[in-house]
Amino acid sequence: MKTTNIKPKPTVFTIFGGTGDLAARKLIPALYNLYLDGYMPAKFTIVGLGRTDYDNQKFREILLDGINKFSRSGKADAAKWKVFSSCIQYLQSDAKKDKTYQDLEAIIKEKDQEWGEESNIIHYLSVAPQFFPIISKGVATINIENKEQRNRIVIEKPFGHDLDSAKELNKLLQSLFDETQIYRIDHYLGKETVQNMMAFRFANALFEPIWNRNYIEHVQISVTEDIGVEDRGGYYDGSGALKDMVQNHILQVLCLVAMEPPVSFNADEVRNRRVDVLRAIRKFGHEEVKHNTVRGQYASGWVAGEEVLGYREEKGVDPNSNTETFAALKFFIDNWRWQNVPFYVRTGKRMHQKASVISIQFKDVPHPIFPIEASESWQQNRLIISIQPEMSIRLQVQAKRPGLDMILNPVDMVFNYDGTYPAESPEAYETLLLDVMEGDQTLFMRADQIEAAWELLMPVVENWESRKSINFPNYAADSWGPEIAEALIAKDGFHWFTMPVKNKKDKK
Ligand code: NAD
């Protein structure tokens, strides 16, 4: 989150996994767009590392292809790409070999000399998690002056596969680097609408006085995908919806909704308040797992006229898999602000709609003065924050329908990003990569946050892993998940909020 106009220092940006999907799809397009918008440092070099035998030219061609396909700014401008790509080099390397780190050391020293000043060095670990330890140890051996001030390390998700492995990775990283050098990425926190949660809550006098149990009835966070596991079956089968989505993205969004106001916009002040929420969430005992959690797995079916595979038939997935592709949970936050306000979260694959939405439903008016005929389509006030694909914030209020009769119906006061801001919003990775270059950790996960999130979910993880589900698969493709997920919320008198789908063809 850029708050100053100071350009970052000269930067050596290394990408371990430079030939991978994330680099081509997100990281390089993000760096290129930062360059187009004038945010890259005046002097920088991007070093892509991978095992494939490419030269600089071939590597740049592959990255250009990625930009042309995935960049929000469309096809690359030839002249601008020429200058940008001259700052990219390829290092064929094996993360397990010492030579990789010796080669990097030589590049960094060469750049220091060429630029006549010490650069910041960012090591981005865009590789499978089993490589996090070996690469972290490797980059820590790079022998340069003032490395504590210069080195930053960025760790992709998943950060651990349970509490013990997350603790172990934290312990290792903290033995090699200071916490101020470690950037654990959760790209949801870089999304515009998610960042706007803080602006909405803490830059307006309107919301904060009613942002509590006295006025809010319940909160929902729903992150649904219409696609299946695609070619990630092998990875996903060892993970599942709870670890892939709830432990990180959804809990972080929940923290932003529920956090107390920080005393300032300082990174640690904000992160302290987020971790307070995780610590206040009611623990899951046996009864809570039984009554407040639901898991699901998608069956085969039809989506937009095309037949699709069930999860257990997907490539790389165990045909008897017990892995959940859907999870719904009810949380309570045991503090003064939120006592007894339920927070419902759900996430799933192959669902009817792709949407990430937060719905905050306010309590009903204390006394209805209108006759029943006037309020047939009554809807309690709701604040709907749509993160994707639509980026909007809507406040649903009751209004009188124009006409001679006194008929009330809900209307939306809409703040739509597309209509309000002519410029396209930056992608989450642009925000986050710039933050790393500027040394701002506000939107990154601290060690204690990661561990608190794992600690909270471990009873659910252990319960689900140890008890094979007898009714998987239990929801059809293109549905809203298993029926019991409806029951989870319906038994409290609510229903899941869904964004109106404008056109089914727009879904992809
Ligand atoms: P990928 O499989 O496409 O790429 C992996 C990269 O690791 C390749 O560049 C490969 O050359 C490199 N690699 C493998 N073994 C190596 C070795 N011994 N030495 C050096 N390099 C080696 O993976 P990806 O999809 O790019 O994902 C990378 C990381 O980002 C993973 O942790 C993943 O969970 C995370 N992630 C990816 C996405 C995404 O959209 N792809 C989204 C969120 C998080």
CA triplet 240, 243, 244: central angle to 5 degrees? 70
Judgement on whether residues 231 and 359 belong to the same structural domain of the protein = yes
Annotation-wise, does 495 bind a ligand? no
Q: Which residues contact 407 (CB under 8 A, 6 or more apart)?
A: 373, 374, 376, 400, 401
What is the rounded radius of gyration, in angstroms, for the C-alpha atoms of the chain? 24
* Ligand 1 centroid to residue 133 C-alpha, Å: 14
Q: Quote the percentage of the chain above a pLDDT of 90.
A: 89
Domain-located, residue 116 = yes
First and final C-alpha spacing in the chain: 29
- Show which of 106, 135, 156 is a domain's final residue: 156
Q: Whose CA is nearest to atom 42 of ligand 1?
A: 22
Judgement on whether residues 125 and 199 belong to the same structural domain of the protein = no
The active-site residue out of 123, 161, 218, 249 is 249
Judgement on whether residues 41 and 120 belong to the same structural domain of the protein = yes
* Ligand 1 centroid to residue 486 C-alpha, Å: 36
Domain-located, residue 81 = yes
pLDDT digits (tens, 9 = 90+) for 139-191: 999 999 888 889 999 999 999 999 999 999 999 999 999 999 999 999 999 99
161 lines ligand 1 (CB under 6 A): no
Judgement on whether residues 466 and 363 belong to the same structural domain of the protein = yes
Q: 């809570």: which residue's tokens?
A: 288
DSSP characters over 442-490: TTSB-HHHHHHHHHHHHHHHHHHHHS--SS-S-B-TTBSS-HHHHHHHH
Judgement on whether residues 283 and 342 belong to the same structural domain of the protein = yes
The mean pLDDT of the chain is: 94
Please give the DSSP secondary-structure letter assigned to residue 205.
Answer: T
Torsional sign, CA 24, 27, 29, 32: negative
Over range 79-105, report the average pLDDT.
97
- Show which of 156, 180, 211 is a domain's final residue: 156
- Going through 173-272 in order, the beta strands assigned E by DSSP cover 182-184, 216-224
- Going through 264-407 in order, the beta strands assigned E by DSSP cover 293-296, 301-303, 306-308, 326-331, 343-348, 355-362, 382-388, 392-400
Expressed in percent and rounded to 5, the helix, strand and coil fractions of the chain are 40, 20, 40
Residue 241: which H helix or E strand, with range?
helix 241-241
Where residue 92 sits, what CATH number does that domain have? 3.40.50.720
Phi and psi (nearest 5°) for 399?
A: -140, 160
22 lines ligand 1 (CB under 6 A): yes
Beta bridge partners of 184: 155, 445
Judgement on whether residues 145 and 208 belong to the same structural domain of the protein = no
Q: What pLDDT is recorded for position 2?
A: 64
Over range 449-465, report the average pLDDT.
97
Domain-located, residue 482 = yes
Q: What pLDDT is recorded for position 3?
A: 63
Torsional sign, CA 389, 390, 395, 396: negative
Phi and psi (nearest 5°) for 13?
A: -110, 105
Judgement on whether residues 335 and 481 belong to the same structural domain of the protein = yes
249 in catalytic set: yes
pLDDT reading at 127 higher than 80: yes
| Measured distance CA(90)–CA(18) in Å, rounded | 8
17 lines ligand 1 (CB under 6 A): yes
| Measured distance CA(383)–CA(394) in Å, rounded | 6
Q: What pLDDT is recorded for position 418?
A: 79
Over range 446-458, report the average pLDDT.
98
Domain extent, residue 73, equals 11-156
Judgement on whether residues 54 and 150 belong to the same structural domain of the protein = yes
Domain-located, residue 213 = yes
156 lines ligand 1 (CB under 6 A): yes
Domain-located, residue 163 = no
CB 288 within 8 A of CB 329: no
Q: Which atom of ligand 1 lies at the shortest distance from residue 18's CA? A: 9
Judgement on whether residues 213 and 294 belong to the same structural domain of the protein = yes
* Ligand 1 centroid to residue 125 C-alpha, Å: 8
Q: What pLDDT is recorded for position 7?
A: 76
Domain-located, residue 278 = yes
pLDDT digits (tens, 9 = 90+) for 13-57: 999 999 999 999 999 999 999 999 999 999 999 999 999 999 999
pLDDT reading at 199 higher than 50: yes
Q: Whose CA is nearest to atom 37 of ligand 1?
A: 22
CB 338 within 8 A of CB 258: yes
| Measured distance CA(94)–CA(102) in Å, rounded | 12
| Measured distance CA(112)–CA(143) in Å, rounded | 13
21, 97, 99, 232, best to mutate for ligand 1 pocket (most atoms within 8 Å of CB): 21
Long-range pairs for 149-152: beta carbons < 8 A, 24 or more residues apart: 150/118, 150/119, 150/120, 150/121, 151/121, 151/123, 151/177, 151/181, 152/120, 152/121, 152/122, 152/123, 152/181, 152/182, 152/183, 152/436, 152/439
Judgement on whether residues 325 and 213 belong to the same structural domain of the protein = yes
**0.85 exceeded by pTM:** yes
pLDDT digits (tens, 9 = 90+) for 295-351: 999 999 999 899 999 999 999 999 999 999 999 999 999 999 999 999 999 999 999
* Ligand 1 centroid to residue 129 C-alpha, Å: 8
Judgement on whether residues 39 and 148 belong to the same structural domain of the protein = yes
Q: What pLDDT is recorded for position 441?
A: 95
Judgement on whether residues 465 and 342 belong to the same structural domain of the protein = yes
pLDDT grade for 354, boundaries at 50, 70 and 90: very high
Quote the number of domains for the chain: 2
Where residue 199 sits, what CATH number does that domain have? 3.30.360.10
Domain-located, residue 465 = yes
Annotation-wise, does 244 bind a ligand? yes
Burial environment of residue 457 by CB neighbours within 10 A (0 to 12, 13 to 18, 19 or more): buried
Q: What pLDDT is recorded for position 508?
A: 39
pLDDT digits (tens, 9 = 90+) for 393-437: 999 999 999 999 999 999 999 998 877 776 778 899 999 999 999
Q: What pLDDT is recorded for position 380?
A: 95
Q: Which residues contact 53 (CB under 8 A, 6 or more apart)?
A: 92
Domain-located, residue 413 = no
